Structure 1
Amino acid sequence: MIKRLIVICITIISSSVYGQTGTASPYSFYGIGSLKFKGTVENRSMGGISVYLDSIHINLRNPAAYAGKNLNGLNFDGESRPVKFSIAGTASNSTLKSNSGEAKTNSSTVDYLAMSVPIGKFGFGFGLLPYTSVGYKLDDFNDDDRLLNRYFGEGGINKVFAGFGYQISDKLSIGVDFNYNFGNIQNAAIGVGYTPEGDPVDYQTRELNRSDLSGLNFNFGFAYKTMVSDKLELSATATYSPESKLNSENRRAFSTVTLDGTTFDVTSIRNTIDVDLGALDLETSKLTLPSTLSFGAGLGKPKSWFVGAEYTLQNTSDFSNPIFNNEISAFENASQFAVGGFFIPDYNAFSGYYKRIVYRAGFNFANTGLVIKDESIKEFGISFGLGLPVGNRSLFSNANLGLEFGQRGTTNKNLIQENFVNLNVSLSLNSRWFKQRKYN
């Protein structure tokens, strides 16, 4: 059964790789796209909290988790923590509602590929993940149900990271991530013209904007754990990412295109004229990535249960993107409050597989920081998950399944409300690389 489960997980993640579309959210039209990275599947299954740090799961939101000593009381036969490897994917299904109707969309993506290696009191991690994603097609109709404008876009930002952690004491650890962000975003708009008889004209005009983005940023982490009684353990964490810049190389072009008379999709491109953005001082620009502060705390019984809460504040009011500015949107500071936890019936059960399963749940409320037509775009989510033990029991590898239900946006002022369901799957595999030789 376990081998079949691993095969199923790999199949789902692999299908995400080959069918990856990133997002189908209309809100990816704004800024640099929809935020894709929200933590590991374990984090997301607990409402998005990253407060809990242990020795068998990678925590990609707090680099203090790389630190070498055991953080959850497991001794691994007297050895230090094992090397950790994790890969995850998500399949999403959304229903988009407006005052005039609704539509369904779906997307899939690889969430992350990462490894963490402990070396004494030190530890380091590295990996690759998609950070933001753009993928939308929006139509603007007049009162006569005639298409006036079509907007569509694709792309996003990926992140390569390397991080280090250090265990200052048995209770305190710190860490830092170095992130290199790269990618491109393409946004296009077609204004549809009509003849006096009401038929689309033969040739339409399309505007295409592309930005190639790159830049560095950092993430600092802190973690503290201590027993407050014989059975209860307190956890407290904090992370901070300073404001940083993305270098943007921009291109804008106007093309004459022909459209399908029924679907209004582009059927051919007749000619293209590149705009001299240098004359507009827009050929290169810098985008501001806002600072982010997160802190949380939780209480639990080691290897049995845990409940925690986390608050995140992002200074998105400082975000700017001169090449994609529009008149109907703006940015304010973003925030999120998340609560979640887990329960394990019997961590050390020798019989009864289901007693060793980790049961997770949580919820979160968020202000995304995006304001459209003076409406703040809010988001709510509730999540559930399972951690299924696989492989060698002494290494505590597991497959993680998560299910998220959520809502983003509003139908006020003719905006779009997005109801989504996300299926998250990950493999968290542990291996012994550095095993001490023992002699009788």
Structure 2
Amino acid sequence: MIKRFIVSICLLFSVVLFAQKNSASPYSYYGIGDVTFKGTVENRSMAGLGIIPDSVHINLQNPASYSSLVFTALSIGGSTSSTTLKTSAGEDDASRTTLDYLAVGVPVSDKFGVAVGLVPYSAVGYKVESTTVEDGFEKFRQFEGDGGLNRVFAGVGYDVNSKLSIGADVQYNFGNIETKSITGLPGISLQYPTRELNAADYSGFSFNFGATYQTKIKEKYDWYTSATYTPQANLSSTIDRNIAIVTFTNSGSEIIVDQIDITGEDGDVKLPSKFSVGTGLGKKTRWFVGTEYTFQESNELGNRFDNVTNVEYEGSHKMALGGYFTPQYRSYNSYFKRVTYRAGLRYEKTGLVINGESINDYALSLGFGFPVNYLSSNINLGIEFGQRGTTSSGLVQENYLNFSVGLSLNDRWFVKRRYN
């Protein structure tokens, strides 16, 4: 039954994935947009910690954890976000609802596990307008963007011994980003602004390597250490560009006065390398507290429009502190004692610097795991309150509330029949 369910969910996910708009942030203008994948709902509810090699949940951040799976697991999640965009002049609201990931993990043997999945990796979605006065002339600028990158991955995890596990993911990244800029230059009538359209296709492979180490302390507590490394990757890109002089009707529709098409501009785009290390202490099926540090090299993607010069990139740093608590994992007389309660704190220096201001992101997350059957399948809910950016230097501050829902379904596959 669950196998049919997985196939149906995969088809539905694929259709929705290519139709959805994953971002409503002006900061998605830069690079390849917002990196939207932050882990499963279970991980995000603990500030994004990817340390624990779980036996019933797929940890999509560290492939070494695949070997810890006991059952075949289907993991699917989605989220809805409400954001207040605030500037020194005013504020506005935006919202989005997305499917975030779909993955299947299979324990092949006691020491070996595999996983495959699909995630929307980054997202572009913005519309920004500004009017300024330069040398006595009014200058109008408008920027719009839509699209993003998706990622298909397959990975393996292997237990070297009872304490050490290693793993690797191979990832194929693909997607399209469409952008538009309209500029009315000083000294030229705003009735005939310049419009630039860009349609960029991206594709290429990347890799993620991971390791986990776990041991006992005083034969009572479990100590975990985790590390992942993603090498720099190159994505090939093809850009079709259209530059035109346009005018607008009273209803706001564009009319092309003159145009030129530039097709097939090729080039490579670099995804920066990333390294994470974390450690934590806990008691299996009862509680866990851990911390994780992630460093990513400076983004070299640059800007989509040459006339934007107020942006720089620096190395990205993220600190996360989180954990979970389950009052009584096998309680028979109280359902809520079997519920898992999660929480976390996250601080991130995103690596984006605009007008000399570093764009930082920090958040508080809470979550709940509700069991649904004896094989430890569960429904996971997560809430994240956060803030990104600043109103200083003419920038935008985003105050957001994310609500996430995930399913982690477990079943026994490949069990040899005792009777025919």
CA RMSD, Structure 1 to Structure 2 (Å): 2.7
Distance 1:362 1:50, change over 3 A: same
Q: How far, CA to CA, are the matches of 2:342 and 2:209 in structure 1?
A: 27
Residues 84 and 430 of structure 1 are in contact (CA less than 8 Å); yes or no, is this contact kept in structure 2? yes
Map 1:140-179; keep pairs closer than 5 Å. Answer: 140-142=130-132, 148-179=140-171
Residues 17 and 120 of structure 2 are in contact (CA less than 8 Å); yes or no, is this contact kept in structure 1? no
Q: 1:313 aligns with which of 288, 291, 295?
A: 295
Residues 51 and 280 of structure 2 are in contact (CA less than 8 Å); yes or no, is this contact kept in structure 1? yes
Q: How far, CA to CA, are the matches of 1:14 and 1:126 in structure 2?
A: 14
Structure 2, unpaired ranges of 5+: 1-8
Q: What is the identity, as a one-letter code, of the residue corresponding to 2:392? A: N
Q: What is the identity, as a one-letter code, of the residue corresponding to 1:306? A: F
Q: How far, CA to CA, are the matches of 2:57 and 2:72 in structure 1?
A: 10
Residues 140 and 190 of structure 2 are in contact (CA less than 8 Å); yes or no, is this contact kept in structure 1? no
- The alpha-carbon deviation at position 272 of structure 1 amounts to 3.8
Residues 162 and 179 of structure 1 are in contact (CA less than 8 Å); yes or no, is this contact kept in structure 2? yes
Partner of 2:361: 379
Residues 139 and 186 of structure 2 are in contact (CA less than 8 Å); yes or no, is this contact kept in structure 1? no
Q: How far, CA to CA, are the matches of 1:397 and 1:276 in structure 2?
A: 50
Q: Does 1:337 align with 2:319?
A: yes
Residues 312 and 337 of structure 1 are in contact (CA less than 8 Å); yes or no, is this contact kept in structure 2? yes
Residues 21 and 147 of structure 2 are in contact (CA less than 8 Å); yes or no, is this contact kept in structure 1? no
Residues 223 and 280 of structure 2 are in contact (CA less than 8 Å); yes or no, is this contact kept in structure 1? yes
- Over the matched positions of the two proteins, sequence identity in percent amounts to 46
- Give deviations 1:295-353, integer Å, cap 9, x for gaps: 00000111111000000000024x23475453111110001000000000110001211
Residues 31 and 324 of structure 1 are in contact (CA less than 8 Å); yes or no, is this contact kept in structure 2? no
Distance 1:303 1:276, change over 3 A: closer
Partner of 1:232: 221
Q: 1:396 aligns with which of 364, 369, 376?
A: 376
Structure whose residues are more often strand by fraction: 2
Residues 16 and 89 of structure 1 are in contact (CA less than 8 Å); yes or no, is this contact kept in structure 2? no
Deviates more, 1:379-388 or 1:184-193: 184-193
Deviates more, 1:267-276 or 1:133-142: 267-276
Counterpart of 2:276 in 1: which secondary structure?
Answer: strand
Partner of 2:98: 109
Map 1:183-194; keep pairs closer than 5 Å. Answer: 183-192=175-184
Distance 1:324 1:226, change over 3 A: farther
Q: What is the identity, as a one-letter code, of the residue corresponding to 2:371? A: P
Q: 1:139 aligns with which of 129, 143, 162?
A: 129
Q: What is the identity, as a one-letter code, of the residue corresponding to 1:273? A: I
- The alpha-carbon deviation at position 254 of structure 1 amounts to 1.3
Q: 2:195 aligns with which of 203, 206, 215?
A: 206
Q: How far, CA to CA, are the matches of 1:66 and 1:158 in structure 2?
A: 22
Q: 1:275 aligns with which of 262, 268, 271?
A: 262
Q: How far, CA to CA, are the matches of 2:184 and 2:103 in structure 1?
A: 46
Taking structure 1 as the reference length, the TM-score comes to 0.86
- Give deviations 1:262-306, integer Å, cap 9, x for gaps: 7xx5445565421367xxxxx111111100000000001111110
Counterpart of 1:28 in 2: which secondary structure?
Answer: helix
Q: What is the identity, as a one-letter code, of the residue corresponding to 1:49? A: L
Partner of 1:64: 64
Distance 1:353 1:16, change over 3 A: farther
Residues 288 and 321 of structure 1 are in contact (CA less than 8 Å); yes or no, is this contact kept in structure 2? no
Q: Does 1:286 align with 2:268?
A: yes
Q: Does 1:129 align with 2:116?
A: no
Q: How far, CA to CA, are the matches of 1:259 and 1:314 in structure 2?
A: 44
Residues 31 and 303 of structure 2 are in contact (CA less than 8 Å); yes or no, is this contact kept in structure 1? no
Counterpart of 2:240 in 1: which secondary structure?
Answer: strand
Distance 1:20 1:402, change over 3 A: same
Taking structure 2 as the reference length, the TM-score comes to 0.90
- Give deviations 1:53-78, integer Å, cap 9, x for gaps: 210001111000111x56xxxxxxxx
